[in-house]
């Protein structure tokens, strides 16, 4: 974690920004919850436990700054709120996909590139250079299906 924080600090410094103690606190919250897709409000609520004097505006500005430098990515999962996750720095332009439960709002990551064949066809048939894609599939997770089956 310290190595990643140092890398973020260097990235910000190279663009004439600093990793202030408040920004580092927000980054640590994101790192501690990297398996979740937190909204700005959720980040704020977690940050308040460690730094009660930090304001919501600081959290929003920091998240936007981190997005600007591709430290994190903002996603909308259909609930009207941006949620944040760390990006894939592999450089190949491929990201994981998401399954979103319409009952409990659980977000499940699918770490396979399911669109490679489609991308190849688009590139060849339309002479279109794809730089990125996002796939969100909405449905009902197995836990919510089990709850529904138990009620019947």
Residue 53 and residue 35: Cα distance in Å, rounded? Answer: 26
Is 94 a known ligand-binding residue? Answer: no
Residue 95 annotated in ligand binding: yes
The answer to whether the annotation marks 28 as part of a ligand binding site is no
Q: Is 104 annotated as a binding residue?
A: yes
Say whether 67 counts as a known binding-site residue. no
Distance CA 73, CA 69 (A): 9
| CB-based contact 42:30 (threshold 8 Å) | no
Task: Tell whether residue 98 is among the known ligand binding residues.
Answer: no
DSSP class per residue in 14-60 = TTT----HHHHHHHHHHHHTTTS-EEHHHHHHHHHHH-TT--HHHHH
Edge to edge, the sheet with strand 38-39 lists 38-39, 82-86, 72-76
Is 133 annotated as a binding-site member?
Answer: yes
CA distance 11 to 69: 8
**What is the rounded distance in angstroms from the CA atom of residue 151 to the CA atom of residue 84?**
34
Q: Which residues are annotated as a binding site for Fe cation?
A: 95, 116, 133
Q: Which residue ranges make up the annotated binding site for Zn(2+)?
A: 101, 104, 141, 144
Per the annotation, binding residues are: 95, 101, 104, 116, 133, 141, 144
């Amino acid at each position: 974690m310290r190595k990643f924080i140092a890398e973020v600090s260097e990235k910000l410094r190279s663009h004439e920004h600093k990793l202030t103690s408040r920004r580092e606190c927000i980054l640590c919250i994101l790192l501690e919850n990297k398996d979740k897709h937190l909204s700005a409000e959720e980040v704020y609520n977690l940050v308040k436990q460690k730094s009660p004097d930090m304001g919501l505006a600081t959290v929003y500005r920091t998240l936007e700054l981190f997005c600007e430098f591709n430290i994190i990515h903002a996603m909308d999962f259909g609930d009207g709120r941006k949620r944040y996750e760390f990006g894939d720095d592999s450089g190949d332009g491929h990201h994981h996909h998401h399954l979103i439960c319409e009952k409990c709002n659980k977000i499940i990551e699918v770490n396979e590139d399911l669109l490679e064949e489609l991308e190849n066809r688009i590139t060849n048939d339309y002479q279109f250079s794809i730089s990125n894609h996002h796939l969100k599939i909405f449905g009902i997770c197995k836990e919510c299906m089990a709850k529904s089956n138990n009620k019947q």
